[in-house]
Amino acid sequence: MRAGILVLALLACAACSTAPGTAPTSGAGAGNLPAAAKVDYQIGGAYPPAADARIVERDRTDKPVKGRYNICYLNAFQTQPDETPSWRKDHDSLLLRDAAGNYVVDREWNETLLDISTPESRTELLAVISPWIDTCTQDGFDAAELDNLDSYTRSNGRLTAADAIEFSAALAHRAHAQGLAVAQKNAPALAAAREDTGFDFAIVEECQANAECELFTKVYDSAMIEIEYSEPAFRAACAARGTSVSIVLRDRGVLPAGRPGYLNRYCGA
């Protein structure tokens, strides 16, 4: 069965790198995303979720939690810092370089940008990242978050929004072929391109603090998860959208429960 599903996914994706504009179907998990639900955002380390959290997000190397809507985190546009050495060793040509030949690095997180600038590099990157998507599905996740969609804004002009849209469409196609829903992460300028990217819902950090929530809600409505990191922004977000959008207040380190500095609050609590 699994082999059959994978063959189908491969066939489906043979088309997606060349024709991402062809209306991508949505993932089966998309319709099940609870609205205005409690979200346990665990990308900084897994721990047993709160009993009333209906949505749980974890790293792709962690396992989903039975009975919840589970989202699989994967860094699809930049390297995870601890994986940079293996990218350099095995896929050095897929790491973005500037005109001087130096790696283009997101300094805030020390993550090297992936080179999504050509159809050839996107095809090769898809071959690296697709197995991660497949594992999310096989492990039982409902959806995937493709982090750093906005890498092009940090690329010093080496990448474009069009590159990000093309690569998103290819990844979404791969996920949808297996019934996995896909989330847009941040990048408000790309919300309007939803028909081309094929994203099912949005996961947005600090849209209240950045005064850009409407750019997402007018496209995604209540199909949105909002993470705020400051108390005033969180309160304002709850007042504005708390009955339709899933909103959580987290500490910036997204620490696991029990660690000093851990913060996880929901609207109305």
Ligand X SMILES: *[C@@H]1O[C@H](CO)[C@@H](O)[C@H](O)[C@H]1NC(C)=O
For residue 110, state whether it binds ligand X (rule: CB under 6 A).
Answer: yes
Nearer to ligand X (CB atom), residue 78 or residue 264 = 78
Nearer to ligand X (CB atom), residue 80 or residue 184 = 80
Nearer to ligand X (CB atom), residue 26 or residue 84 = 84
List of residues 6+ apart from 261 with CB closer than 8 A: 251, 253, 255
Tokens 């380390």 found at: 45
CB of 110 to ligand X, least distance (A): 4
CB of 95 to ligand X, least distance (A): 10
| CA dihedral over 263, 264, 267, 269, signed as positive or negative | negative
CB of 111 to ligand X, least distance (A): 8
Nearest residue to 197 (alpha-carbon basis) of 24, 73, 31: 24
- Please tell me the distance from the alpha carbon of residue 190 to that of residue 178, in angstroms, as a whole number: 24
CA 201 to chain centroid, in Å, comes to: 10
How many residues lie near ligand X (CB under 6 A)? 4
For residue 85, state whether it binds ligand X (rule: CB under 6 A).
Answer: yes
For residue 21, state whether it binds ligand X (rule: CB under 6 A).
Answer: no
How do strand 111-112 and strand 143-147 relate by DSSP bridges? unpaired
Nearer to ligand X (CB atom), residue 88 or residue 265 = 88
CB of 108 to ligand X, least distance (A): 11
Using CB under 6 A, which of 84, 222, 230, 244 touches ligand X? 84
**Could you tell me the two tokens for 206?**
């600090």
Distance between start and end Cα atoms, the chain = 45
CA 150 to chain centroid, in Å, comes to: 11
CB of 260 to ligand X, least distance (A): 22
For residue 81, state whether it binds ligand X (rule: CB under 6 A).
Answer: yes
Question: Interface with ligand X by CB under 6 A: which residues?
Answer: 81, 84-85, 110
